Chain A
């Protein structure tokens, strides 16, 4: 917990520094902000590993685990995207998401003790499924952020506002490139995650007796899988349209925002189900 508290503090500091640098635009501040994000991500990794060690198995059933993982995946995607495209101001949208995930995790941890896990979850398919879906989600969130940035930047250009946003935000073309990359990688990761879930379902069918005492557990994963499949199919259609019909950058940005809403819907439903 201590490490995760530290991670959240550094994520918040990194976000504050990014806002300050949005005004001043200094290389030194930028470098410091990247270091803060890196430190936060490291603390996040340590927190996750120590938690796994405490529980003596990888588990991803509680909201705490899920949100710690989402925060980490988003932070890593942000660092990677920044490394490749050198566009730190993506963080104006990604860091608040990371901070929200972190705060939700801390709140969830204090509200309820960590779940005792069913040994039925201790299966390779599930170990792969959850990280892949979370990483996929992190990329979709990135696509959502760039989609939002695209529309903001477009408005600046249309309304001829030459302020800080106009100066600092990437070009429309760059936003489209980041958006596309995030959508494709996210879709790939989601696809792999869903295939792993299918593997887990087949495991469940062949070991039905493991679930005999806990029918809710099986039902929850069926529902989760259903929503994940829904999002996957929808995003698959968007990417298919983009590839085959040649969607414009603007349409792709819009699709990314719709994709995010769908993911949010799926997670909200899953969270409600888990809370219940």
Chain B
């Protein structure tokens, strides 16, 4: 069996080419049908995400999968060659785990790809395009990816500004479940920050904006409440976390405002995230006790440090994957011996069975003795088969060339 991968991703192909090859869920059945129109394809799985499209193809022998896929996708072979990559054998295995672990992702270590890979295998199974080889491959990829995620820090630490802000909030408040956030502004950055806060289980959201209707829209989207921009100072004390991103030319949150809020909230900590340029939070606010202020540069500093940490972890992950691929290939090689082992065992047992029957026909043997003799025959068969079975498992994938005498010695573990 030969595993080959043809893929293109954000590094190799522009979006116009990726679009042509991308396969939405509802078109998967058709895509698999076209693939299997080529009789050389035995098993297949298609992974299609916004940043990559990959075909995992299992064939009996080496075939040019580029031509098979170009035909099935109706894309010019030359265009596909220019923008795609092809991996076979060990490289293909390494690539699959690297993809599932997020090592090959646009954002290093991002976790969503793992779910997308799992879904791809599931869809392939639903469409009947998966058999023994990809079934084992799936188990290997998922198992190794989980190990990569637990044994390395590839997915630890936020690498986006909004995630970093939520992580920082957790360093102050621990759980966010009983905390309230005030969002000043209703732009795209604010919406992204709210999404992450809601994802982290924030207790409540209040939105304020110069245009109240925009604040109301955003608040409604996340089951929060909106307040008028000229009134937000009155509810500042209710907020544990304040995220601000307005286009105001001067600070919208002054230290006097925060001091009053701190008195009202009995000096419980407040966390301000200022993602506006120019800044929305006055510089002296950060000097107040129990008040923590982070601006966009601080958050970028966190993100950069985390990204470097992930790159360091990626090196460890690659080493781990290499080891796992070697073990998997050995496991697959020894599986190739299974049909041989079964045939050998059946033949041996049948010889013993025949001889046993002959003996019983000629000699009077009680039921008790029959049982004992049968047990002895089984034990002898197992002992006889032990050496060849072990040798078959070890040497079946070695690919060496041996004379008949050498093969016999190896098979039966005979001394020279």
Contacts and interface: CB of A to CB of B under 8 A. Distances in A.
Interface core residue of B153, B170, B175, B267 (most chain A CB under 10 Å): B267
A157 B172 contact: yes
B159 to A, nearest CB: 13
Contact of A171 (B172, B268, B294, B302): B172
Instruction: Tell me the dominant secondary structure on chain B's binding face.
Output: mixed
B358 interface: no
A157 B301 contact: no
Contacts of A246: 266
Contacts of A167: 157
Interface in A128-168: 153, 157-158, 160, 162, 166-167
A215 B307 CA distance: 70
B290 A171 contact: no
A248 B168 CA distance: 20
Contact of A157 (B171, B174, B266, B267): B171
Residue in B153, B171, B174, B292 with the greatest tally of chain A CB atoms within 10 Å: B171
Interface in A62-88: none
B292 A171 contact: no
Contacts of B85: none
Given A157-B292, A162-B305, A171 B173 contact: yes
Contacts of A54: none
Nearest to B172: A172
B178 to A, nearest CB: 10
Contact of B269 (A166, A172, A174): A172
A162 B171 CA distance: 11
B170 A248 contact: no
A207 interface: no
A172 B286 contact: no
B286 A158 contact: yes
Contacts of A162: 301-302, 305
Contacts of B305: 162
B298 A160 contact: yes
Nearest to A166: B171
A153 B171 CA distance: 9
A248 B301 contact: no
Contacts of B268: 248
Interface in A45-70: none
B164 to A, nearest CB: 10
Interface in A27-61: none
Nearest to A250: B290
Interface in B160-213: 168, 170-175
B289 interface: yes
Contacts of A170: 174
Contact of B171 (A172, A177, A248, A249): A172
B286 A171 contact: no
Given A158-B286, A246-B266, A249-B269, A174 B292 contact: no
Contact of B289 (A25, A160, A177, A250): A250
A167 B294 CA distance: 17
Most buried by A among B157, B268, B269, B289: B269
A153 B268 CA distance: 16
Interface in A260-274: none
B151 to A, nearest CB: 9
Contacts of A251: 267
A251 B289 CA distance: 11
Contacts of B173: 171-173
Q: Which of A160, A167, A250 has the most CB of B within 10 A?
A: A160
A172 B171 CA distance: 6
A160 B300 CA distance: 12
Given A158-B286, A160-B298, A248 B175 contact: no
A173 B292 contact: no
B275 to A, nearest CB: 15
B170 to A, nearest CB: 6
B172 A173 contact: yes
A160 B266 contact: no
Interface of A: 25, 153, 157-158, 160, 162, 166-167, 170-174, 177, 246, 248-251
Interface of B: 153, 157, 168, 170-175, 266-269, 286, 289-290, 292, 294, 298, 301-302, 305
Given A174-B174, A250-B289, 13 more contacts: A157-B171, A157-B292, A158-B286, A160-B298, A162-B302, A171-B170, A172-B173, A173-B174, A173-B175, A177-B174, A248-B268, A250-B290, A251-B267
- Nearest 3 CB-CB pairs, A to B? A173-B174, A171-B174, A248-B267
